[in-house]
């Protein structure tokens, strides 16, 4: 297992080097999106409307951060269970999404889409959201503000600690 310090804009080219179990300190732009936001993404796709951010090369963090405390960019920001986004993930990967961040295993269809698109699934530490927020430098709501904590947010990570859960070669920390 190796350790990497990666910027989000370099994820697509770095993905083939990453192996399940590798540790990653991720910096750069990451978007939050959970169940309700994914549902709206697909409503927009069906209606031929643009998505709130460019999917090609993007990283999505499955999180619903709490409000920021004074002096902080964001409140607690831990991962949610990724499997709830499995019905949506393959199409988003086919549209260019290169990284998903969450916790827990993924379906076989998601694993196939990760391999097909040379993407990566990174795992964050569940239960450590209050610590994770210390690695987030900014937070801006960019879409679906009415969803509250589940709105789509643009975050700036700085050395956010993650582990490669599923790599683009099919390597996985989860039973397959």
Q: What is the torsion angle, in degrees rounded to the nearest 10, for the CA atoms of residue 33, residue 175, residue 166 and residue 50?
A: -30
* pLDDT tens digits, one per residue of 23-32: 999 999 999 9
Give the residue extent of every domain in the chain: 3-166
Dist CA 76 CA 96 (whole Å):
28
Q: What does pTM read for this prediction?
A: 0.95
Does residue 176 have a pLDDT over 60? no
pLDDT value for 75 = 83
How far are the Cα atoms of 7, 9, 80, 97, 167 from residue 56, in angstroms, in the given order?
Answer: 15, 10, 23, 5, 18
| Residue 74 binned pLDDT confidence (cut-offs 50, 70, 90) | confident
Q: What angle do CA 73, 22, 170 make, to 5 degrees?
A: 110
Spelled out in words, what is the top-level CATH class assigned to the domain 3-166?
alpha beta
**Strands 99-102, 120-123: pairing kind:** parallel
Name the one residue in this structure whose structure tokens are 């996985």: 172
**Strands 23-32, 59-61: pairing kind:** parallel
* pLDDT tens digits, one per residue of 133-159: 889 999 999 999 999 999 999 999 999
């Amino acid at each position: 297992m190796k350790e990497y310090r990666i910027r989000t804009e370099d994820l697509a080219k770095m993905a083939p080097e990453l192996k399940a179990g590798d540790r990653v300190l991720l910096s750069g732009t990451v978007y939050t999106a959970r169940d309700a936001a994914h549902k709206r993404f697909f409503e927009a796709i069906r209606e031929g409307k643009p998505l709130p951010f460019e999917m090609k090369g993007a990283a999505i963090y499955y999180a619903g951060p709490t409000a920021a405390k004074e002096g902080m960019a964001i409140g607690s920001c831990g991962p949610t269970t990724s499997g709830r986004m499995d019905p949506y993930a393959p199409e988003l990967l086919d549209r260019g999404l290169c990284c998903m961040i969450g916790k827990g295993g993924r379906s076989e269809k998601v694993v196939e889409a990760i391999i097909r698109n040379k993407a990566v699934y990174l795992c964050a530490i569940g239960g450590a959201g209050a610590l994770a927020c210390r690695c987030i430098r900014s937070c801006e709501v960019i879409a679906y503000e009415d969803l509250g904590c589940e709105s789509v947010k643009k975050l700036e990570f700085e050395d956010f600690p993650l582990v490669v859960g599923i790599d683009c070669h099919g390597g996985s920390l989860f039973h397959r």
